[in-house]
């Protein structure tokens, strides 16, 4: 099953006798609060207009735990996550489509969590809300309670030690912007740079000018140039495990399984004993 769905495919799926549950996960990485400005309000954006039948999911509160030593967006409490999914009408036997405001990071985080915890049929709306050509609504739906119970998988997630090991023995991709990888600028975390051995692979290169994913063969070529070969173990990290989920999604579109280091740089850089590399060289 493809991990993404086009707007036209979604419109058709919504007309079938087994329409997908729609999750609206609008969220933006923002440094506004640090500057004394109000942060982006995904719930307000949802209230102003969303896909018909879509339920809002709060990334910070339902797709992550509170910030702390494990990073800015550590894994959510599974009871909280499961309750949020059931409230949205998610059941084990019902397809799910997730979308956000277009960048794809937040939608990918929800996609990854649902897949990692055992849901068999989850896709991301390619291009997000801007790709949708149909009507929007402001009414808040009240779907029937779902039955999905999250069961974490044995693979697909990395901790700090696992990420460090993978950087030595496999392929560890850094999904942040190149200047953050190189340590030239760091607007959020204590120090700039990257995990020694990680390769720079910004998420911006996963998509075209319209914000939609590049074709699978182009993505395979892109990751191949970074050393991703058949059978090689692959992991991804970013600042806090959100944009890295977008890279895991891009890899899935290319047919390449990958693990997510959820704590990412926000966890790694919080421990001064962990090594930091700077500049364009992985080491």
On whether the CB atoms of residues 13 and 95 are closer than 8 A, the answer is: yes
Alpha helices in 35-187 (DSSP H): 42-48, 59-62, 78-87, 105-116, 160-169, 178-181
DSSP state of 204: G
In angstroms, rounded to a whole number, what is the distance separating the alpha carbons of residues 179 and 190? 15
* DSSP-based three-state secondary structure for 68: strand
* 97 phi, psi to nearest 5 deg: -125, 130
In angstroms, rounded to a whole number, what is the distance separating the alpha carbons of residues 145 and 256? 34
Helix (H) or strand (E) holding 11: helix 7-13
On whether the CB atoms of residues 94 and 85 are closer than 8 A, the answer is: no
In angstroms, rounded to a whole number, what is the distance separating the alpha carbons of residues 77 and 66? 10
Closest by CA position to 21, among listed 88, 82, 73: 88
> Active-site residue 19, yes or no?
no
Select which of 29, 124, 195, 238 is catalytic: 238
Closest by CA position to 27, among listed 46, 1, 4: 46
User: Who contacts 221 (Cβ-Cβ below 8 Å, separation ≥6)?
Assistant: none
Neighbour tally for 269: CB within 10 Å = 21
In angstroms, rounded to a whole number, what is the distance separating the alpha carbons of residues 72 and 189? 10
Report, as residue numbers or ranges, the catalytic residues. 238
């Amino acid at each position: 099953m493809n991990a993404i769905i086009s707007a036209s495919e979604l419109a058709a799926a919504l007309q079938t006798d087994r329409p997908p549950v729609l999750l609206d996960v609008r969220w933006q990485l923002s440094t506004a609060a640090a500057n004394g400005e109000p942060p982006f309000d995904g719930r307000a954006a949802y209230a102003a207009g969303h896909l018909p039948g879509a339920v809002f999911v709060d990334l910070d509160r339902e797709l992550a735990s509170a910030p702390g030593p494990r990073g800015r967006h550590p894994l959510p409490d599974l009871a909280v996550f499961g309750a949020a999914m059931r409230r949205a009408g998610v059941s084990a036997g019902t397809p799910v489509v997730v979308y956000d405001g277009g960048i794809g990071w937040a939608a990918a985080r929800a996609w990854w969590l649902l897949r990692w915890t055992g849901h068999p049929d989850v896709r991301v709306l390619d291009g997000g809300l801007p790709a949708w050509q149909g009507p929007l609504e402001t009414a808040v739906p009240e779907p029937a309670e779902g039955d999905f119970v999250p069961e974490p998988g044995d693979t697909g997630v990395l901790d700090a030690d696992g990420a460090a090991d993978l950087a030595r023995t496999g392929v560890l991709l850094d999904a942040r912007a190149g200047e953050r990888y190189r340590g030239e600028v760091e607007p959020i975390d204590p120090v700039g740079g990257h995990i020694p051995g990680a390769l720079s692979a910004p998420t911006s290169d996963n998509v075209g000018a319209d914000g939609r994913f590049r074709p699978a063969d182009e993505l395979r070529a892109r990751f191949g140039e970074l050393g991703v070969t058949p059978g090689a173990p692959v992991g991804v990290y970013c600042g806090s495990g959100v944009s890295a989920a977008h890279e895991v999604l891009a890899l899935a579109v290319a047919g390449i399984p990958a693990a997510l280091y959820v704590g990412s740089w926000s966890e790694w850089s919080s421990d001064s004993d962990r090594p930091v590399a700077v500049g364009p060289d992985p080491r």
